[in-house]
Amino acid sequence: DSGVTQTPKHLITATGQRVTLRCSPRSGDLSVYWYQQSLDQGLQFLIQYYNGEERAKGNILERFSAQQFPDLHSELNLSSLELGDSALYFCASSTGQVATNEKLFFGSGTQLSVL
Amino acid sequence: AQKVTQAQTEISVVEKEDVTLDCVYETRDTTYYLFWYKQPPSGELVFLIRRNSFDEQNEISGRYSWNFQKSTSSFNFTITASQVVDSAVYFCARGSGTYKYIFGTGTRLKVLA
């Protein structure tokens, strides 16, 4: 058990809908990362937050947004969903201190199916 | 973009064979960090190793070993005497002071009994 909690585990929705994925980081971790894993794309970095502030942005679509709350949990909002958004969405957390012996701890992921 | 390339999409070996998974990275950073993660069929990503750019020592952990060569920008992973439980997707990743952790596309390893 990595200590990172993601909910829900599975989500089935229709095109055009909006969903929210939730992530609670490991106790003590200040940084949260979101990744999208599609069958042929590997792990695509979406966005990173550190202590409530956006720190780095990857290939995140404009239809997607995220935030990190004061209690450090994070939510990833996906709107106007398309079939191609179907993927496994991972959250990871870390201390945010990359120069130390930091590593990412991953949640078990949310499997999103857009029908 | 500073990529991480895992050219081997899928590898199949017979149990007890040795297997090497290749990883080549690009970076403009002087200091950076390299990782390997394992994704077993259960789906969760499991940390295997972190290597700092300023430490080129190779590492061995049981049946696992890693070969870091800055000259060729490679960080290869070898499993000795592979076992069926090693079957998984393995990801190589690079992190840096810009905080983004970039992952390769993964190598699916199938170990056949």
A41 within 8 A of B105, measured Cβ to Cβ: yes
Q: Do A35 and B103 touch (CB under 8 A)?
A: yes
Q: Do B47 and A103 touch (CB under 8 A)?
A: yes
Confidence bin at A95 (pLDDT 50/70/90): confident
Using the predicted structure, report yes or no on whether residue B98 has a pLDDT greater than 70. no
Say if A109 is an interface residue toward chain B (CB within 8 Å): yes
In this prediction, what percent of chain B has a pLDDT beyond 90? 73
Q: Do A42 and B105 touch (CB under 8 A)?
A: yes
Q: How far is CA B106 from CA A70, A74, B68, B91, in A?
A: 34, 26, 18, 4
Say if A70 is an interface residue toward chain B (CB within 8 Å): no
- State how far residue B44 is from chain A, nearest Cα, in angstroms: 5
Q: Do A106 and B33 touch (CB under 8 A)?
A: no
* Mean pLDDT for all residues in chain B: 92
Using the predicted structure, report yes or no on whether residue B1 has a pLDDT greater than 90. no
Sign of CA dihedral A97, A99, A102, A104: positive
User: Which residue in the set A2, A56, A99 is minimally distant from B100, CB to CB?
Assistant: A56
- What integer pLDDT is reported at residue A45 of this predicted model? 92
- What integer pLDDT is reported at residue A92 of this predicted model? 96
Q: Which of B43, B48, B35, B32 is nearest to B104 (CA)?
A: B35
Using the predicted structure, report yes or no on whether residue B4 has a pLDDT greater than 70. yes
Q: What is the mean pLDDT of residues B59-78?
A: 93
- Give the range among A20-24, A97-101, B4-8, B45-49 with minimum mean pLDDT: A97-101
- What integer pLDDT is reported at residue A97 of this predicted model? 77
User: Which residue in the set B33, B44, B104 is minimally distant from A42, CB to CB?
Assistant: B104
- Give the range among B23-32, B48-57, B76-85, B96-105 with minimum mean pLDDT: B96-105
DSSP string covering B7-38, please?
A: --SEEEEETT--EEE--EE----SSEEEEEEE
Using the predicted structure, report yes or no on whether residue A91 has a pLDDT greater than 80. yes
Q: Do B100 and A99 touch (CB under 8 A)?
A: no
* Mean pLDDT for all residues in chain A: 93
CB atoms within 10 A of CB B18: 12
A37 within 8 A of A87, measured Cβ to Cβ: yes
Q: Which helix (H) or strand (E) holds B65?
A: strand B64-69
Residues 6+ apart with CB under 8 A from A5: A23, A24, A107
Tell me which of A113 and A2 has the higher pLDDT.
A113
Q: What is the pLDDT of residues A44-71, one digit of tens each?
A: 999 999 999 999 898 899 999 999 999 9
